[in-house]
């Protein structure tokens, strides 16, 4: 775990924690407004969290080529997460929110 | 590596996946903005994530060309790029955490004054309909022309 300096580790940990808290904040945001669509956005943020975990695991083992599969997994979950985010934002479009 | 079945995955080049993932993200940003429902700071945070991506690409090129290493193995470049994501995520978190956003016609402004959140009916009548002012508070809404939403049509 020494491929990353302590400050760089903290930057990673902070990003992940912020993302998790943001998911919770999106849930509350939707509840306050009584707009259930926001739950989909919170859920759509999950693949990116998984992606981040994969990246951090790879860093934890000092970025070895043997764990290159983790990087591919991270790329895949990033793609999946971004598709999910787009779909969630689609449900929030004003012309769709009436129904 | 057979652990986690990552061996087969390792043969795949991740770069096209990362590039391809930009397309749905741009669609996300477009629809998020078009919805006009996102807290402005959070939307800017999601947009700022693209700055992180750009900085990461530039840092990866520098790591490769100057040091012959992958970005994750050049710690200052790695940390310096990732901090942009930390900032972006902080904006998203802050944006969705704030209760005094001006995104929905003042309903939140009422809430932040310690009142019950406005119900949809009250919200439809606008921010001035439920003013409760302490002594000395200036009116939150300047006097209008005398017309009221309560007037019969």
**CB burial string B76-102: b at 16+ within 10 A, e below:** ebbbbbbbbbbbbbbbbbbbbbbeebe
pLDDT of residue A31: 96
Q: Are A25 and B96 in contact (CB under 8 A)?
A: yes
The vertex-A21 CA angle with B92 and B111, nearest 5°, equals: 75
Please write the tens of the pLDDT for every residue from A17-66.
999 999 999 999 999 999 999 999 999 999 999 999 999 999 999 999 99
Instruction: Look at residue A1 and tell me if it is in a domain.
Output: no
Q: Does A13 touch chain B (CB under 8 A)?
A: no
Contact call for A7 and B79, based on CB within 8 A:
yes
Q: Is the pLDDT of residue A77 over 90?
A: yes
Q: Which two tokens stand for residue B135?
A: 């002594």
CA distances from B53 to A33, B46, B47, B131 (A): 32, 11, 10, 45
Q: B26-45: per-residue pLDDT in tens?
A: 999 999 999 999 999 999 99
The residues in B 20-79 lying below 8 A from A, measured between CB atoms, are 20-25, 27-28, 30-32, 34-39, 42, 70, 72-73, 75, 78-79
Chain B nearest-CA distance from A8, in A, is: 5
Q: Among all chains, which residue has been given the structure tokens 């945070």? A: B45
Confidence of residue B151 (pLDDT cuts 50, 70, 90): low
ipTM over 0.85: yes
Query: Which tokens go with B144?
Result: 């209008």
A11 falls within a domain: yes
Comparing B143 with B22, the larger pLDDT belongs to B22
Closest residue to B82, CB basis, from A8, A35, A66:
A8
The burial class, CB within 10 Å (0-12 / 13-18 / 19+), for B62 is middle
Q: Which residue has the tokens 């302590």?
A: A6
A23 lies within 8 A of chain B by CB: no
Q: What is the pLDDT of residue B107?
A: 47
A46 touches chain B (CB under 8 A): no
Domain of residue A50 covers 6-97
Q: Structural domain tally of chain A?
A: 1
Query: How far does Cα B116 stand from its chain's mean position?
Result: 26
Q: Is A12 in contact with A4 (CB distance < 8 Å)?
A: yes
Neighbouring residues of B124: CB distance < 8 A, sequence distance ≥ 6: none
**Residue numbers in A near B111 (CB within 8 A):** 32
Q: How many CB atoms lie within 10 A of CB B36?
A: 13
Residue found by looking up tokens 């900085």 in the block: B55
Whether the per-residue pLDDT at B62 is higher than 60: the answer is: yes
Rounded to the nearest angstrom, the gap between the alpha carbon of residue B12 and the centroid of all alpha carbons in its chain is 32
* Contact flag A35-B37 (C-beta cutoff 8 Å): yes
Q: How far apart are the first and last CA of chain B?
A: 74
């Amino acid at each position: 775990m020494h491929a990353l300096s302590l400050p760089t580790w903290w930057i990673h940990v902070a990003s992940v924690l912020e993302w998790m808290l943001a998911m919770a904040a999106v849930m509350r945001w939707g509840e306050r407004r009584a707009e259930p669509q926001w739950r989909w956005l919170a859920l759509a943020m999950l693949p990116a969290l998984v992606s981040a975990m994969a990246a951090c695991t790879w860093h934890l083992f000092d970025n070895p080529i043997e764990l290159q599969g983790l990087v591919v997994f991270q790329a895949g979950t990033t793609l999946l997460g971004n598709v999910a985010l787009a779909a969630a934002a689609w449900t929030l479009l004003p012309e769709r929110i009436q129904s | 590596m057979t652990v986690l079945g990552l061996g087969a995955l390792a043969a795949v080049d991740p770069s096209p996946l990362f590039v391809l993932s930009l397309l749905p993200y741009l669609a996300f940003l477009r629809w998020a903005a078009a919805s006009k429902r996102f807290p402005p700071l959070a939307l800017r945070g999601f947009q700022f994530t693209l700055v992180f991506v750009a900085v990461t690409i530039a840092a990866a090129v520098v790591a490769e060309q100057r040091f012959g290493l992958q970005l994750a193995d050049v710690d200052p470049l790695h940390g310096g790029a990732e901090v942009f994501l930390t900032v972006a995520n902080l904006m998203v978190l802050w944006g969705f955490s704030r209760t005094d956003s001006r995104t929905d016609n003042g309903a939140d402004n009422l809430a932040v004054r310690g009142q019950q959140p406005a119900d949809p009916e009250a919200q439809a009548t606008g921010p001035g309909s439920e003013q409760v002012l302490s002594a000395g508070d200036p009116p939150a809404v300047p006097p209008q022309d005398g017309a009221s939403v309560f007037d019969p049509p």
